[in-house]
Amino acid sequence: METKTELLFRGLNASDMAVMCVDPLADLVLECNETLLELTGFSRDQISAMPVSILFANQFPSLVAFSQACIEKKNSYTNELNLICADDGTRPVEVYGSAFEEHGRTLLLFTLFDTHYCHKLRLDADATRYHRGGLMEWKRIEEVFSEFERENQLILNAAGEGIYGVNTEGVTTFLNPAAEKMLGYSAAELVGRNAHEYIHHSHEDGSCYQMNYCPIFAAFHDGVVHQVGDEVFWRKDGSSFPVEYTSTPIEDQGRVVGAVVLFRDVSERREADRRLRAALSEVESLKRRLELENAYLQEEIRSEHNYREIVGRSNAIRNTIAQIELVAPTDANVLITGESGTGKELLARAIHEASERRTRPLIRVNCAAIPRDLFESEFFGHVKGAFTGATSDRIGRFELADGGTLFLDEVGEIPLELQGKLLRVLQEKQFERVGDTQTRGVDVRVIAATNRDLKADVSDHRFREDLYFRLNVFPIESAPLRKRSEDIPLLATYFIEKACRKQNKPVLPLSIADVRRLQAYNWPGNIRELENVIERAVIVSGTGKLRIDVPELTNSLLPSETLSEQQEVGSKLVKTEDQRRAEERANLISALKQCGGKVSGRDGAARLLGMRPTTLYSRIQRWRIDVTAFKNQNRDVSSGAESNLRAIG
């Protein structure tokens, strides 16, 4: 007994329509008629052996979607499929599909039409319809466009924009040379064909552009000029290009009979706009960066610096300058060690200014002044919302110093848990902002400074050993002022000039006695202390003589290494000038105590010391000793002093 499919195809085998029955789940062609064989050029055996997905030119997604629609709706239609042919070509087809059940399985019946043949039939139908409407009406509409083209032929040929005309059915009526050049179609290829199907069938992303939504055809219905600037036209070679176009309706005797479309290729303008936006974005980024750099530099200008030039001619300074000249041209990391106030930042600036990075900023980070929970944000920046209070994106100091130098002052104060992240940036030259997943590259030279013994910190596990070696590529020691006393006159003169300019005073002279007093002091606060002493002296001196108030020369102010040196010298029965002066001062104070603060006279300290009262007064003034502090000593001490004086008398 024949199946439903066999009975169906017995009746359809002689049909002029190409018909095939397929099993969508098995991807097989079960039956087909002779018309389908003629359409494809394949034999029946070839069709039967060929999967449906292959027969439809590997358009598997479209085929599945169409088959599903047929099953769900019982019938459907598509014009998006292509049928492969025996001559290795493809043929666009329109397919009507319907679903039916046989032996518990769902089969599909496809009726196929050659798209080009259908298009010809539609044109014939349109012609027949117009013919029925009156041959004169048909010719009159043709004459409207012919007259338009004839009257504007010179303009159409000379125009740089593409221009074409369409009637109310969307059929192309004329095409100017500029349009032919941009579209790749000749006028003969488009005239008489639906313009939308050839050049405006898809959106830029390839999705279908339905004709009833096209602004060009909307002009037929509303009689309004439509201007569009964000669509694409498609060329003959299948490529697209961005256009802006104007669709202007054409009226004849008060009735819209078509439209004229003027379009231009805006590819170059779009590319120029893209480059301009990219350039503006880069300019804005650079602007923000320069603003941050400018704000940072202004902050640096406002902050107090020791000085801008290295002042001195001692061997220690000459050795330091030689080291700077040696390391500056390289990109090696530098670790500057030394006591507080010795000018470590000045050395860092000198290295930066002598390097190839001098055109980029030197960014300073005072590691001792950053709260522990803000270290990472300060170094690497953060994005908006990364933590409470992060109301906007912020660039970190590493990113700000990109291409330049980063000076990490007091690097020993960096928390141990963050030293690993700093090490990673130094090794890989990459980092992420806090709260961000984007990895950013950075090119930064690091100069670190500390007054701590980082080797001891490494031994005590307070500083990472690998980070220490990464920073200590080229060590430089900033010598303390007591080891370069020959530089004190130059430094004092420099600070006097600086302070006088600041106070708007004439430059005050520095006497030899002042220099000797300055050199006699050990300066535990180093250069910073010297600058403070000089500035205070300029302030209290008014416009007269410079009055330098040198701190007391006591062993308690001397650094431990100096005391040890003194002990070593003392063991050899040799005293330094500082030791001798300290002993002399202590002896003078002892005499004043015994004399109750009295300087001259029979029971005065001058007689007890065996010197002139004027000489003693001079030394008391030089060492800034307050004699009134000794006038209220107990009477036992005074009596003892008087007894000693009587014995001397």
Q: What's residue 348's pLDDT?
A: 92
Task: Give 231-264 as a DSSP string.
Answer: EEEE-TTS-EEEEEEEEEEEEETTEEEEEEEEEE
Contacts of 219 (CB under 8 A, 6+ apart): 225, 226, 247, 248, 249, 256, 259
Any domain includes 566: no
Domain containing 234 — which CATH number?
3.30.450.20
Residues 412 and 316 in one domain: yes
Mean pLDDT, the chain, integer: 80
Contact 523, 550 (CB under 8 A): no
Report the C-alpha dihedral over residues 510, 516, 519, 520, rounded to 10 degrees.
-140
Question: What values do phi and psi take at 597, rounded to 5?
Answer: 85, 5
Task: Spell 218-248 as b/e; 16+ CB within 10 A means b.
Answer: bbbeeeeebeeeebbbbeeeeebbbbbbbbb
Q: Domain of 401: which CATH number?
A: 3.40.50.300
Let me know if residue 130 belongs to a domain: no
Residues 400 and 495 in one domain: no
In a domain? residue 127: no
Tell me, yes or no, whether 541 and 642 share the same domain. no
E strand or H helix that includes residue 196: helix 195-199
E-strand ranges in 27-138 read 28-32, 75-84, 90-102, 105-114
Give 175's DSSP letter: E
- Does the residue 281 lie in any domain? no
φ, ψ (nearest 5 deg) of residue 26: -85, -10
* 85 located within any domain: yes
Tokens of 326: 């040696």
Assess whether 472 and 488 both reside in one domain: no
DSSP track, 323-354: HHHHHTTS---EEEE--TTS-HHHHHHHHHHT
Cα within 13 Å of Cα(373), Cβ side: 4
Which segment of 305-309, 378-382, 475-479, 486-490 scores lowest on mean pLDDT? 305-309
Please classify residue 604 by burial: count the beta carbons closer than 10 Å to its beta carbon, then call 0-12 exposed, 13-18 middle and 19+ buried: buried
CB atoms within 10 A of CB 560: 7
- pLDDT beyond 70 at 570: no
Q: Is residue 19 part of a domain?
A: yes
> Domain check: are 235 and 249 in the same one?
yes
Q: Is the pLDDT of residue 574 over 70?
A: no
Lowest mean pLDDT among 182-196, 272-286, 396-410: 272-286
499, 544: one domain:
yes
What is the distance between the alpha carbons of residues 447 and 405, in angstroms, rounded to a whole number?
7
Average pLDDT rounded to a whole number, residues 153-181: 79
Question: Tell me, what's the pLDDT at 94?
Answer: 92
Overall domain count for the chain: 5
Instruction: Look at residue 306 in the predicted model and tell me its pLDDT.
Output: 37
Query: For residues 469 and 435, which has the higher predicted lDDT (pLDDT)?
Result: 469
Give the span between the Cα atoms of 52 and 452, in whole angstroms: 81
CA-wise closest residue to 258 among 358, 355, 164, 345: 164
Are residues 227 and 150 located together in one domain of the fold? yes
Give yes or no for residue 335 having a pLDDT over 90: yes
194, 169 Cβ separation under 8 angstroms: yes
Rounded to an integer, what distance in angstroms lies between the CA atom of residue 309 and that of residue 534?
Answer: 18
CB 486, CB 316: distance < 8 Å: no
Q: What is residue 91's three-state secondary structure?
A: strand
Give the pLDDT confidence score for residue 493 in this predicted structure.
87
Maximum C-alpha span of the chain: 161
Residue 76 clears pLDDT 50, i.e. is over it: yes
Helix %, strand %, coil % for the chain, to 5?
50, 20, 30
Same domain? For 73 and 143 the reply is: no
* Bridge-based pairing state of the strands 405-409 and 474-477: unpaired
Tell whether 455 and 333 lie within a shared domain. Answer: yes
Handedness of CA 622, 624, 625, 626 (dihedral sign): positive
Domain assignment present for residue 340? The answer is yes
Q: DSSP per residue over 4-27, as a string?
A: HHHHHHHHHTT-SSEEEEEETTTT
In this structure, the strands spanning 445-450 and 405-409 are parallel
Is the confidence at residue 55, as pLDDT, over 50? yes
Supply the range of the domain harboring residue 165.
135-265
Q: Which of 513, 544, 517, 545 is closest to 533 using CA atoms?
A: 517
Question: Do residues 329 and 464 both lie within one domain?
Answer: yes
Give the pLDDT of residue 407: 93
DSSP string spanning 101-119?
Answer: EETTEEEEEEEEEEHHHHH
Q: Given pLDDT bands bounded at 50, 70 and 90, which one contains residue 314?
A: confident
Query: Rounded to whole angstroms, how far apart are CA atoms 535 and 548?
Result: 9
In this structure, the answer to whether residues 330 and 414 fall within a common structural domain is: yes
Measured in residues, the chain has a length of 649
What pLDDT band is residue 138 in, cutting at 50, 70 and 90?
Answer: low
Is 557 part of a structural domain of the chain? no
Q: Which domain-ending residue is among 265, 295, 325?
A: 265
End-to-end CA distance of the chain: 161
Which sign does the torsion angle of CA 317, 322, 328, 333 carry? negative
Q: Does residue 71 share a domain with residue 19?
A: yes
Q: How far apart are CA 603 and CA 157, in angstroms?
A: 126
